[in-house]
Structure 1
Amino acid sequence: MLSLLDLRARIDAGTLTPHGAVGLAREAIAARDDAVRAFACLDPRPAVAQEGPLAGIAVGIKDIIDTADLPTGMGSPIYAGWRPKADAPVVARLRRLGAVPLAKTTTTPFAFLDPTATRNPRHSGHSPGGSSAGSAAAVGAGMLPLALGTQTGGSVIRPAAFCGVVGVKPSFRLLPTVGVKCYSWALDTLGLFAARVGDAARALALLAERPGIDLVADTGAPRIGVVVPDFCDEAEADALAALQRAARAAERAGARVHDLSLAPLFGEAFACHPVIQDYEARQALAWEYAHHREALPPLLRAALDAAQDVGTDAYDAARRTAHRARRSLKDVFGEGDVDVILTLSAPGAAPEGLASTGDSRFNRLWTLMGVPCVTVPVETTGGGLPLGVQVIARFGDDGRALAAARLIERAVG
């Protein structure tokens, strides 16, 4: 895979130019994307900055994020060829840092569940996940060193795990969602994909203008609580084994590791996620539903049909439960002898076939809580499919989540 830090080190050493680094990405795309199908469109003549901390870094932009020089199609024929007049702020920030938004990556339509044509770069017969399918697959295939995605349920963490890359869902609103097609304003979160934890930490620190995210020192003995939520359907044996392998590796590296149980309130909050998501989605996509319902793909159309019956009383009650759970999660970190939580990224490896993007049940609670999440590749199944684990820290402690993820990454080799 292309590493952001490796490319930048070569540029700083004078052995690679920014044009040359972007050229490596373009060559990889030409060689591999016919099989992976990660891109909605490419910039044929990108402007390449010579200065900036991300000069020479080609970036994939999920195709629900506005770009002024490339179409933003939302994964839907309703927006085919649509050209925003302005970059989303996160894209403008990338350009100021010297990065090259080289391509729009595929998204499930409006970032819901109906799959794209993108294939898993590790096994073409399996799903890359979703909704940020193209971003995860492009990094996993070694075509880009960095890509942006979004998460409303599990749309960064899950595809990152399926494609064997690092995925980061930052603290809620750490990165601006202005210029991103909304599905749920209380849940939508910008995230990113990279080859390694260090690459992701550097990119997030620069995008958020918070250098401390990349400077959190390894504590040497982080306190890690291992969580297997009892309010979710059980995970597959391979995923549980990967979680235990990561926990034991972290312990050997000096971490203090113990099992952690969550109070029943978190199960109640987990059940509130779809209520909040559906209530807000029926408003966020009201125009598309009213004027183009038949052009919506089947899973999204059915979800919006059902969402018309979600009332304000249920929505307000769900928000109150979520708020209580967020306050209680502060106590888990504050009183539970825990610096970070280690849990599952997905129920198992990427599912076979392209009819499903997989299940987000091990992601939705943490999205609702607004806390930073990092998925780290741990191992592969006998069939060569990646398995990852998810590291979670308290709200605003993105640097600690990344530091613990880096410890696990090193520990598992």
Structure 2
Amino acid sequence: MEPYRLSATKALHLIQKNELTVEAYARSLLARIESREPTVQAWAYLYPEAVLEQARRLDKVPTEQRGPLHGIAIGVKDVIYTKDMPTEHNSPLYKDSHVPVDAASIAILRAAGALILGKTQTTEFASTTIGPKTINPHSLPPLPVRTPGGSSSGSGAAVADYHVPFALGTQTGGSIIRPGSFNGIYGFKPTWGAVSREGQKVYSLTLDTLGWYARSVEDLRMLAGVLGIKDDDVPRKLKGLKGAKFGLVKGPVWRLAGPGTINALEKAKALLQAHGATVHDVELPEEFSNMPDWHAKIMASDGRTTFLPEYLIDKTRLQTFLANQVENVNGWTHKQELAAFDGVASLRPVIDSIVDGFDALITPSVVDEAPLGNGSTGSAAFNGMWTALHTPVVNIPGFKGENGMPVGVSLVAARYKDEHLLEVAEVVGGVFEKEGGWKSAL
């Protein structure tokens, strides 16, 4: 197997046993990128010579001094500060912008020995649905081009296309889960506040969450451990699905679900039951019907102050959606915004109590498979509620839409049950990937 195809866990094992050098690993990844990047266009910044220099330095580190991610390559969404690379936010206002510090997440990863490969494409300020130039690697020409989702567009595509085993993203609405589904990979959004957001352009102080992608739950768990994810209680190991209990939540926007998502949720339920789990249809209390409106008002309220500096510098170089938030074109009052903040806060302990009756909730990740074109990154309608509720969420791949593109479903746990959720996701993912009907052709 070519090194670029290795999982992070397998690559680390070989590097630790001195059966693979970091430089050889990096060269394999860079060769894959060179052959695919002209079409996929996942990267905002990549300097191969700097990557190889970094790899050679890592190879010189004595074995006993190597960190838990020694030599493992990671892509970084281009809203997260990296002291040795530009951070441009896909905005003309920040072209060639350099910040001489690392974000907290990058500092932790460097200390763990990670190979920071480059910066991945994002929508402008990780905040709009107007896509960057990145193309879904499962629909490259001559197939009709489709979006990889957003705003973490490049991160999702880079992991799916074997450019890197890991990539960081951020989620304010659905920017981790949606690309995870569209690209047929695992996307993990931890509990809000479980990992530091210091050192990244923040859209919403109350919504933004750092997350990451991988092609296996084992790899998700590896990165979670390095970034300090830890439950209060040691999670119970699931040896299988027999006796497990799931709640199926369609949510307040189920009417938007397309055939790919309807089929995925039905098949997910059937597979869980066939493997001995019980699945209960869960109707959330009526108050949860307010969540889409409340999430939108919170984003608009936070966006109004977040993007005011850029608006004042030159509003003509800011996407209309962001300028409209600064100008409050919806005319929302502080009273309405307070009702949204307080309403969501009141429902967080409610959802915790509901989820705690199950091993996890299962719910849609997306409206349907990735839409055609890459001008729009698609709808986050099914994601905003969970982001606002601060719950951890994992996209589980394995299903497909009417055009053969991947469609995932989400598992949700109560707040600060992240390790538990990953344990459940590993067992569920093993079933869905094997029996769900979609297989990557990459």
Give the TM-score normalised by the residue count of structure 1. Answer: 0.95
Residues 53 and 98 of structure 1 are in contact (CA less than 8 Å); yes or no, is this contact kept in structure 2? yes
- Trace 1:230-249 onto structure 2 (pairs within 5 A): 230-249=252-271
Match of residue 50 from structure 2: 45
Matches within 5 A, 1:8-407: 8-43=12-47, 44-46=49-51, 47-48=54-55, 49-50=58-59, 51-113=66-128, 114-124=130-140, 125-208=145-228, 210=230, 217-218=237-238, 220=240, 221-306=243-328, 309-334=331-356, 337-407=357-427
Can you list the C-alpha shifts for 1:140-191, whole angstroms capped at 9, x where unaligned? 1111100000000000000111011100000001111111101110000000
CA displacement at 1:213 relative to structure 2: 9.8
Q: Counterparts of 1:213 and 1:72 in 2: how far apart (Å)?
A: 38
Counterpart of 2:10 in structure 1 is 6
Q: Find the aligned partners of 2:372 and 2:405 in 1 and give their Cα distance.
A: 10
Deviates more, 1:166-175 or 1:377-386: 377-386
Q: Shift in Å at residue 239 of structure 1? A: 1.1
SS at match of 1:168: strand
Q: Residue 30 of structure 2 aligns to which amino acid in structure 1? A: R
Contact 1:2 1:144 in 2 (8 A): no
Instruction: Check conservation: 1:166, 1:196, Cα contact below 8 A.
Output: yes
SS of corresponding position for 1:233: helix
Distance 2:421 2:289 in 1: 23
Amino acid at match of 1:342: I
Deviations 1:275-314 (A, max 9, x none): 0110111101110011221001233334443358333211
Q: Distance in 2 between matches of 1:91 and 1:301?
A: 30
* Cα gap change, 1:193 to 1:216, in 2 (>3 Å): farther
Cα distance in 1 for partners of 2:86, 2:383 equals: 30
Distance 1:219 1:330, change over 3 A: farther
CA displacement 1:13-69 (0-9 Å, x = unmatched): 332122222222212111111110000001331313242111121111100000000
Deviates more, 1:344-353 or 1:302-311: 302-311
Local SS of the residue matching 2:328:
helix
Task: Output the CA distance in 1 between the equivalents of 2:9 and 2:234.
Answer: 12
What CA distance in whole angstroms lies between the structure 2 residues aligned with 1:214 and 1:2?
29
Deviations for 1:202-232, whole angstroms, at most 9, x for unmatched residues? 1112112649999751164331101111444
* RMSD, aligned CA: 1.9
Q: Which runs of 5+ in 2 are unaligned?
A: 60-65, 435-442
- 8 Å Cα contact 2:231-2:416 kept in structure 1: no
Q: Are the aligned partners of 2:235 and 2:420 in contact in 1 as well (CA < 8 Å)?
A: no
Report the AA paired with residue 72 of structure 2: I
Q: Distance in 2 between matches of 1:151 and 1:42?
A: 23
How far apart, CA to CA, are the structure 2 residues paired with 1:357 and 1:33? Answer: 19
Q: SS of 2:227's equivalent? A: helix
Contact 1:342 1:389 in 2 (8 A): yes
Q: Which residue of 1 aligns with 2:439?
A: none
SS in 2 for 1:30: helix
Secondary structure class of the residue paired with 1:208: coil
Report the Cα distance in structure 2 between the residues aligned to 1:213 and 1:149, rounded to whole angstroms: 27
Residue identity over aligned pairs, in percent, reads: 33
CA distance in 2, matches of 1:119, 1:367: 25
- SS of corresponding position for 1:376: strand
Q: Does the 8 Å CA contact 1:153/1:363 hold for their aligned counterparts?
A: yes
Deviations 1:316-344 (A, max 9, x none): 1111100111121122124xx32210011
SS at match of 2:255: coil
Measure, in 2, the Cα distance between the counterparts of 1:215 and 1:147: 25
* Contact persistence 1:250–1:407 (CA under 8 A): no
User: Would the aligned equivalents of 1:110 and 1:181 in 2 still touch at CA under 8 Å?
Assistant: yes
SS at match of 1:45: helix
> CA 1:215/1:271 → structure 2, altered by over 3 Å: closer, same or farther?
same
- Residue identity opposite 1:325 in structure 2: L
